[in-house]
Amino acid sequence: MNKKVLVTGFNGEIGSKILKELVSLDKQIIAIDVNDSKGKIESVKYIKDSILNYDLIKSIFETNFITEVYHFAAILSQSAIKNPGLSIKVNEGASKNLIDFAFQNAVKRNFLCKFFFPSSIAVYGPRKIKCASEQDIIKPSTIYGHSKLLVEQYGSKIHEKSKSIDSGLDFRSIRFPGVISFDTIPSGGTTDYAPQMIHAALKNQHFDCKLSPQTNLPFISINKAIYSIVKLMNVKKIDSTLRVFNVQEISFTAKDLSDVLKEKFPIFTVSFNKDKKFQSVADTWPSSLNCSMSKKYWNFSTEVHLKEFIEKIIEKIK
C-alpha cells in the first residue's frame, strides 16, 4: 500500500500553501475541507466534508496508509467566541479523534505516524509577557486558546505513549504568532489586523484598527511559517519530551506598523478605535516569543527588521 499524507483544512491560509509544498515533494495527498478547492491539483484526492464526520475520518485511516498528518482545520479565535459549541467540537473533539486514528492505525502497522498540529500564542495568559518560553505561565483566557492547549497536551501524551511501544504517533507542533500572508486577507483572528492594514495601505484605503496603538504582538510571514513546518517535519527525530515549539520573525506594535506604512504610503491613514473583544484577547497574548528551543532542536533561525519585513511582504503582494 502506497504511503499517503492527510491534510485537513487545505483551503486555509497555511493549509493551501502546505498542500502545494507537499505536492512539490511528490507526496501522495488526501485533502479534506468543508469548502470546495479553489484550484485543483490533479495528483491530489480532494474530499469536501467536515472533520466532524467521524465515519469518514475513520475510513480514511483504515483504507489508506497514512504516514503523515497536517491538521489545519479549525475555528479561529474571534469566530470561536461567537460559536463556542462548534469551536469545541471542531478544535477539540475532532482533533483528538484525528490523533487517536493516526495512533491506532500506526500501531497496527508498526510504525510512527508524523502528526503536525499548528498551535497558537492563544495558549498563553492570563497576562501579557515578553519573550515567552514554551514553559511559561499558560492559562488561556479564550475558548480558542484553551482548545489549542488541550490538543497540545493530548498529542504530547499520546506521543509519550507511542515512544514506550516504538509505534504510534510522532507528534510535532508549532505555536504560531500572527501570520502575515501576501495573497490573502484573513479574518476571524486577533492578529489579522496586520495583514488587513498592509493590504489597506496598498490600496490607499483608510484603515480602522480594532487594537490600541501600543498593542505589541509577535508575527511571522507566511513563507517563513511554511518553511518552519516543512523543516520541523523533515527532522528525522526530535530527541526531546518537548513537542511544541515557539517561532516568530518579529514583534511590533500596531503603531509601529502604521508608522512604517505611512512612511511608505504618505496618503495612507489609520485610526485606532479599540474593540473590547479584540483588545481583551490581545492583552493576554505575549508581546514576543523565546525561540531558543526551536533553534536548539530543529535549527529555526531568523533575524529581521520591521521595514525589511514589511517591504518583503509588499513586494510579494505587488
Q: In this predicted model, what pLDDT tens digit does every residue of 184-201 receive, in sequence order?
A: 787 767 899 999 999 999
Contact 290, 131 (CB under 8 A): yes
Span 193-220, mean pLDDT?
Answer: 96
Question: Does pLDDT of 203 surpass 90?
Answer: yes
Question: Helix or strand or coil: residue 205?
Answer: coil
Beta bridge partner(s), residue 112: 168
Domains of the chain: 3-177+221-246 (3.40.50.720), 179-219+250-286+304-317 (3.90.25.10)
Asked whether the bond before 126 is cis by omega within 30 degrees of 0, the reply is: yes
**Placement of cell 504511503 in the chain:** 3
Cα dihedral angle (243, 23, 180, 35), rounded to 10 degrees?
-100
Q: Which of 66, 122, 121, 146 is closest to 98 using CA atoms?
A: 66
* pLDDT at 313 (0 to 100): 92
Question: Does pLDDT of 271 surpass 90?
Answer: yes
Q: Which of 73, 71, 72, 115 is closest to 90 using CA atoms?
A: 73
Q: C-alpha cell of 176?
A: 504560531
Q: Which of 7, 294, 25 is closest to 174 using CA atoms?
A: 294
Question: Helix or strand or coil: residue 28?
Answer: coil
- Residue 115 gets which letter from DSSP? E
* pLDDT at 4 (0 to 100): 97
pLDDT band at 153 (very low <50, low <70, confident <90, very high): very high
Question: Does pLDDT of 20 surpass 90?
Answer: yes
* pLDDT at 80 (0 to 100): 87
Chain centroid offset of residue 154 CA: 17
Q: Which residue has the higher pLDDT, 182 or 102?
A: 102
Beta bridge partner(s), residue 6: 30, 69
DSSP-assigned letters across all residues of 96-137: HHHHHHHHHHHHHHTSEEEEEEEEEGGG-BSS--SSB-TTS-
By residue count, the chain amounts to 318
Cα dihedral angle (224, 228, 230, 231), rounded to 10 degrees?
120
Query: For the chain, what percent of residues have pLDDT higher than 90?
Result: 86
Q: Tell me the per-residue pLDDT of 29-66, one tens digit each, with 9 for 90 and over.
A: 999 999 998 788 999 999 999 999 999 999 999 999 99
Cα dihedral angle (211, 214, 218, 221), rounded to 10 degrees?
70
